[in-house]
Amino acid sequence: MPLHRMLWFATLLLLPSSAIAQTIENTATSVPRIFNTVKLKLQQGKQVVGGTVSSSDPDIYCTMAGAGFDFLWIEMQHSPLSYQEVARMIWACRGAPAMPFIRVPDATEGDIQKAVDIGALGIIIPMVENLEKVKAAIKFAKYPPLGARSQGGGQYGSLWGSDYRRNANDNIMIVA
Contact 56, 85 (CB under 8 A): yes
Q: What residues are paired with 74 via a beta bridge?
A: 53, 102
Q: Please confirm, yes or no, whether 78 is among the known catalytic residues.
A: yes
Distance CA 91, CA 31 (A): 27
Q: Which residue from 73, 75, 126 is spatially nearest to 101, judged by alpha carbons? A: 73
Distance CA 134, CA 174 (A): 8
Task: Point out the catalytic residue in the list 5, 46, 78, 94.
Answer: 78
3-state secondary structure of 112: helix
Taking CA atoms, 14 is separated from 20, 41, 65, 111, in Å, by: 10, 16, 25, 18
Q: Which residue from 100, 127, 128 is spatially nearest to 114, judged by alpha carbons? A: 100
Catalytic residues: 78
